[in-house]
Structure 1
């Protein structure tokens, strides 16, 4: 693959709320993980040219444009050739959404691709090259009536096709369509012992209609936001729903692994897991963008997964889990893959599961507080879990940790971690009646005040003129923007204003976007891009401080980094504006939603 790679912005996301695919602008599916987000890939051309793909595209020269079909995550790409116009509609199929609330609980684990000629005629090429287990396996393709069968170690793939495809490990074929003609394809994953059958053209068409209707009904019932940047907020809400594993309510940070933070660098991580922090942020963002309705289920799942009893015994809350609740996520490298743009190593698993990150107590309790109206039926175990989070924050806030950015150097006393322990106690006090925890409130209040005093004394740097990254440090960190956002400081507090100004002045990169922190030894080599979440935090903080015009300017600069279908990556290259990092990134879309909401509220307040 060398150092050349298709731009990350060329991809669009497909999801059935259990697994995911990425489709390139030219009609090539270069990433597919079924049946779960964290399953071994079927196609991984995203990370190595030899690791599998499935393209459907015109023969010869063409132009392409694409968009999601109205309020769905179904992608439609229009190809124009010298002889005609063809639309390819791609979706990961979901079952009927009869309630409008739950999307993706029952899915056939099937990628649908429907090709329709709308003008003239066009000749289309199909190339199918499955490479399961991250490209390790080159399975033999067995012809069958109506398609191909492909068996490998953990299951089977069944490709339903209206044309005969030829080839032993890579199958190819062509078909010509005239105006009004269509052809449907379906790629189904079947586990060992599962039902194996090819799909008819009628079944493919019906499955596509069902998927469109399911997404539309979910959006119609859930997406009520009417503030600034409505369309971008609604799309972000759909992306966050698409990154939610429906059987448990877990939210993946992104559906990909090892897309780098710098081209050719080593900062390449597997994000296909559920970070407690991201999931908590997502619940709040969805309450703005899509009224999640499943907060109670999420907190019950988290309580079962994280073990409240362990917290009571002094253990730390693990910071990420598999989407099914798995604890052990040991990281390893796939040395046979060259990586996107030659960026190695390619990693699967994530050793951050071993880290201590104290901020997660605050993020979970903040989400619970914001969504307290949906927690009326939280069971005793769930209530005890939230109480244990507050107790853990009170007992452990004095300890060092690896912080929100998961540094791989020595633990420190990060200001953000202390802040979120304060938030944990503050929100627990507000939830005390719902949690039947009135007896604990005096202890929580006392600990909250001690943490405040420590942050104000040790987190403020006279030399930097701002709240710093860690106690005793003069380095700036964009996470200090959360001090006013969480309510620790009032928006007109002089120190808060000075911190926001310092971050804006000293952490803004050449792209005009905010970087996470002033560079020091964080245990890793190489550079990284500007972090989009941090720019949205800045817009949010400026809105709270009454700086509406500046907030809009910062917001629009960050939002403009989205690709043609509205998706945001984790980072943006300092020069050139190239999207970097795993894609699409939940945190970036969370930041967009929350900043738009804050700006809208501030503007409404300013106008009475």
Structure 2
């Protein structure tokens, strides 16, 4: 069996409704056109037979061939240049924006159209097109129908796809469209794949060159509204663009990643669906968007969270929601899919929504605190109910064990990072009490807050190891404790915190500079590595922090994308991609290097 491409081979396309991955070989191997967490129509990422759309020179990878690619400035429009012995050709790929969309209109009415434009640069190059749609994660093989206008319609189940190409005589085979054509210097051929619903609106019809120009302008106009004045501006702007690409524009929710079931370890079973929005990541996301000067995104994300949480009952606040606020996203396995490089199971849905994770209220309250000056001198209605409900829930439940921020699927524990987040929730509630009306109880909240702090300092500290460990009474280190100084629970210069940072760096760090989450973690976790950068800055070691930052950013792929983790032996990217938390970590670490006392 042919080896699947490396995760780092993929570039990310987005219309802020859905996303696609296109490999260095010119193959679109992942596209869920309905929305980020919808079913794929191209799913070769997770199984060779689950569909793809390849557009590439004949003989790609052979003698004399080389490739270079980059995003057009401040966009997720990808331009790939193929150099062959016969000549050079550029392929520009994008998911189309609505015609006329600019700045914050991006994605609100996306037409669900994949654009591919081929431009001859020199010589005469023979190109190969292979269109193999397989809707419903590869379960469906569509009927293909040649249309009078030269397009090909693919229909199966609820899905309709239409493939069009300028000046090409496309012919449908039984289950695919395979076509070869030549392109000369100066020649341009546009093509597109438009998605529609069998019993809904028909697929949009767009002129590829016009749509490509409109989409590029929409992205660039969006970035022009955001001004970042810190260090590493190009990296921060690009990571902010990636976060925009992961934002489901209709609601403002940020998907944790584009993909499902890319493994934490090749051949392993820790393969999860990350195409949802985690409240666990809420404060970090808000902070990153704030740093990158994206105020509209922060307020929309906050409004989505308030609506999604709804009224409080006895159940804990869910850790994640669907992109439009769906609560039940129960998990199932796609047993017909082989998985990325035979890493099974392939999961759709994520049962972490059922877990108790006590850190969630703290993340939300921290976000409220950050936006407090924009939310008014007195909170009313749903906002008031949410803040009061979160405070009371923390006060009532902080002594319980939970699953922790890494969402372990074994027994619950008293995780230090979760207790710190409980402290954070009540600390922020006390600070917001004068905006919450007569039901606010800052004196009681402050007493519980202080009790939590005393408990963490007593039970979380392991004198024998000389560090705060992952859970009360545990000898195991956990990189999540690096969030303690970031949350202002304890200064990084405190002797206990300083010792913890040193121990975490010593026992969980690697020669590459990457940090694992725990000692048995098989890979480096990028967010933790960026947390360590922040901790070193706050501990008064900016030069070491900068050197570490420079090493960690070197693990991005050739178009500046990060997955979740990095293989410690090969340096290969692992886990779902592009991973929002990794890009969030980069933005926040860059700002910490710019303003050490920020946040």
TM range (shorter): over 0.9
The residue correspondences of 1:70-89 to structure 2 (distance < 5 A) are 70-89=73-92
Shift of 1:431: 2.6
What is the aligned partner in structure 2 of residue 581 from structure 1? 575
The secondary structure found in structure 1 opposite 2:196 is strand
Query: Could you say which residue in structure 1 is the equivalent of 2:169?
Result: 164
| 2:197 counterpart residue number | 191
Distance 1:199 1:293 in 2: 31
Q: Counterparts in 2 of 1:222-233, with a 5 A limit?
A: 222=226, 224-233=227-236
Query: Which residue of 2 is the match for residue 66 of structure 1?
Result: 69
Residues 45 and 53, structure 1, Cα contact 8 Å, conserved in 2 = yes
The equivalent of 2:6 in structure 1 is 7
Output the CA distance in 1 between the equivalents of 2:231 and 2:222: 21
- Shifted more, 99-108 versus 81-90: the winner is 99-108
**2:181 matched residue in structure 1:** 175
Distance (Å, rounded) in 2 between the aligned partners of 1:12 and 1:434:
45
Aligned counterparts of 1:304 and 1:604: Cα–Cα separation in 2: 29
Q: CA RMSD, aligned part only?
A: 1.9
Equivalent positions of 1:122-271 (< 5 A) are 122-144=125-147, 145-162=149-166, 163-166=168-171, 167-196=173-202, 199=205, 203-222=207-226, 224-271=227-274
2:464 aligns with 463
Could you tell me how far 1:50 is from its partner in structure 2?
1.0
The count of corresponding residues between Structure 1 and Structure 2 is: 591
Distance 2:169 2:338 in 1: 33
CA deviation profile, 1:543-602 (whole Å, cap 9, x unmatched): 111101110122112111000000001001111101000011111111111011001113
Give the conservation status (yes or no) of the 8 Å contact 2:99–2:211.
no
Residue 604 of structure 1: CA displacement? Answer: 10
The answer (yes or no) to whether the contact 2:259–2:273 under 8 Å persists in 1 is yes
Quote the residue 2:39 is aligned against: 40
> Do structure 1's residue 17 and structure 2's residue 20 form an aligned pair?
no
Alpha-carbon distance in structure 2 between the residues aligned to 1:343 and 1:290: 39
Q: Does structure 2 conserve the Cα–Cα contact (< 8 Å) formed by 1:142 and 1:168? A: no
Query: 1:337-388 CA deviation, whole Å, 9 max, x = no partner?
Result: 1111111111111111111101011111112212323334975112311221
Mapped partners of 2:189, 2:438: distance in 1: 61
Per the alignment, in what secondary structure is the counterpart of residue 113 of structure 1?
strand
Quote the offset at 1:197 in angstroms. Answer: 5.4
Tell me how far 1:254 sits from its aligned partner: 0.5
Q: How far apart, in 1, do the equivalents of 2:323 and 2:294 lie?
A: 21
Instruction: Compute the TM-score of the two structures, normalised by the length of structure 2.
Output: 0.95
- Cα deviations by residue, 1:165-197 (Å, 9 ceiling, x for unpaired): 231211111221112211111111111333335
Asked if 2 retains the 8 angstrom alpha-carbon contact of 1:17 and 1:244, the reply is: yes
Alpha-carbon distance change, 124 to 281 in structure 1, aligned in 2, over 3 angstroms: same
Please state how far the C-alpha of 1:428 moved relative to its aligned partner. 2.0
Tell me, yes or no, if the aligned pair for 1:17 and 1:243 is still in contact at 8 Å: yes
Equivalents in 1 of 2:434, 2:195: separation in Å?
48
Change (3 A) 1:227 1:404: same
Mapping for residues 427-438 of structure 1, pairs under 5 Å: 427-436=428-437
Q: Which residue of 2 aligns with 1:369?
A: 369
CA gap 1:282/1:142 in 2 versus in 1, 3 angstroms: same
Q: Following the alignment from structure 2 to structure 1, what is the Cα–Cα distance between the partners of residues 422 and 30? A: 38
Partner residue, 1:543: 537
Structure 2 vs 1, CA of residues 124 and 290 (structure 1 numbering), >3 Å: closer, same or farther?
farther
- In structure 2, what is the Cα distance between the partners aligned to 1:148 and 1:98? 28
Choose which of 84, 90, 93 in structure 2 pairs with 1:90. 93
Give the Cα separation in 2 of the matches to 1:185 and 1:278.
38
Q: State the alpha-carbon separation in 1 of the partners of residues 105 and 538 from structure 2.
A: 34
What are the Cα deviations for residues 508-544 of structure 1, in whole angstroms up to 9, with x where unaligned? 135431100133xxxxxxx631111100000011011
How far did 1:293 drift? 1.3
User: Which residue of 2 is the match for residue 522 of structure 1?
Assistant: none
Which deviations, in whole Å up to 9, do the C-alpha atoms of 1:245-268 show, x marking residues without a partner?
A: 111111111110111001111111
Change (3 A) 1:114 1:425: same
CA change 1:263–1:604 in 2 (3 A) is closer
Q: Distance in 2 between matches of 1:475 and 1:156?
A: 52
Q: Any gaps of 5 or more consecutive residues in structure 2?
A: none
2:319 — aligned with what? 319
Does the CA contact (< 8 Å) of 1:299 and 1:382 recur in 2?
A: no
Contact 2:513 2:529 in 1 (8 A): no
Structure 2 partner of 1:524: none
Q: Is 1:494–2:515 an aligned residue pair? A: no
Match of 2:475 in 1: 474
Q: Using the alignment, how far apart are the partners of 1:193 and 1:12 within structure 2?
A: 32
Structure 1 stretches of 5 or more lacking a match? 520-526
Indicate conservation of the 8 Å contact 2:160/2:203, yes or no: no
TM-score by length of 1: 0.94
Q: Is the 8 A contact 1:295 1:374 kept in 2?
A: no
